[in-house]
Amino acid sequence: MPPLIRNWKSGRSAALVAAALTLTTCVSRTSAVIPTRPGKSPTSSSTPSASPSPSASPTPSPFTCAGYAPPSIAPEGNLPSPRRSAAFIYDKATDQTILFGGDAGQSAGEIPNDTWIWNGPAWSQTHPATAPPCWRSGTTSAFDDATGQVVLFGGQGPPQVLGPSYPGWFKADTWTWNGTNWSLRDTHTIPGERSWGAMAFLPGTERLVMFGGFGASNSSLGDTWLWDGQDWGQLWFTEPTPPSRSGATLAYDGHRLILFGGLHISSGPTPAGTPLNGTWAFDGTHWQQLHPPSSAPARSGAGLLQQGPNGVVIIGGFSETAQVGTYYNDMWRWDGSNWARLPVSMPGPANR
């Protein structure tokens, strides 16, 4: 894997998915039609629709860990072991935050697949009957308001020392968390394998939206997928869509989903390895590039602190230009039309 990608992956990120409320449709152009969510009544005859992707895998990838024996990583007392690139999702149904997986040193093959719960004052490890296998990091995950469950897709691992050609390195399986246990979902349509995608719930469509990620061929992805609680469907567009990227932030601002930043890895009009700072909006039917007067510097892997009617707040992230890496400790708020830096930062130096 190129040094640029290795360095990018070394950055820390955490995402807390907060409340999402109502959607206001801002633009009338339609690119696709989203079918009614299973078990729901149609809300409008013009509700947009998704169609299955011909590029989707017909069968799951070989999510096998055969031949790989992960080392035992003991908790540090009542705390999770040190790690990066873990799934960190707020479970609104239980008012707790779920920590799953991550990696703790890929050269040593240390990838935990344990599940921890943060209830505000303390951590506690839970031991579900089933859990996503293969010790993965960089999963794409979010809370599904329509079903009241956490949804986790894909990820990567076993460890980097075994290489991306190792079976099960990139994954495309879908798991849900109901507060006590993980369940593997048997979906008819399967998006392509990926890690570091962006995912958020869009209330007006009652769907989770997944965009982009880091693909199995070491390239950025720029596809848009919807999860309806039972299956995936891909949206196709006639108008421009965001450039492919991984490690972007996707959040609901009270009206639509806002996509910010990420790292473009593929070659093309945008050079490979370019950190991005463009802002895009998705209203359930199409993408629209926004041009706010000010913006945060380009970055990937930013943490999400808030989303909803009061705006979107992101924190930190990582950027690399001319092989010089910068870790940010700043905070930015999106108010619906512009980014503004907040007068607070995380402790510690910005560059480290």
Q: Does the structure show a pLDDT above 50 at 341?
A: yes
Q: Does the structure show a pLDDT above 70 at 106?
A: no
Q: At 345, is the pLDDT very low, low, confident or very high (cuts 50, 70, 90)?
A: low
Q: Out of 59-63, 161-165, 241-245, pick the least confident.
A: 59-63
Encode pLDDT of 123-156 as tens digits: 999 999 998 877 788 999 999 999 999 999 999 8
Encode pLDDT of 3-52 as tens digits: 333 333 333 333 333 333 222 223 333 345 555 555 443 333 333 444 43
CA distance 47 to 323: 46
For residue 304, report the phi and psi dihedrals to the nearest 5 degrees. -110, 120
Encode pLDDT of 75-94 as tens digits: 677 888 888 889 999 999 99
Q: What is the DSSP letter of 84?
A: B
Residues sharing a CB contact under 8 Å with residue 2, sequence separation 6 or more, in sequence order: 273
Residues sharing a CB contact under 8 Å with residue 19, sequence separation 6 or more, in sequence order: 92, 307, 308
Question: What mean pLDDT is reported for the chain?
Answer: 78
Sign of CA dihedral 100, 53, 214, 281: negative
Percent of the chain with pLDDT over 90: 51
Q: Does the structure show a pLDDT above 50 at 187?
A: yes
Higher-pLDDT residue of 347 and 106 is: 347
Say which amino acid occupies 22: T
Phi-psi sector, 193: left (phi>0), alpha (psi -120 to 50), beta: beta
Q: At 220, is the pLDDT very low, low, confident or very high (cuts 50, 70, 90)?
A: confident
Largest CA distance in the chain: 56
For residue 112, report the phi and psi dihedrals to the nearest 5 degrees. -75, 150
Mean pLDDT of 224-252: 96
pLDDT at 63: 59
pLDDT at 158: 65
Burial of 162 (0-12, 13-18, 19+ CB in 10 A): middle
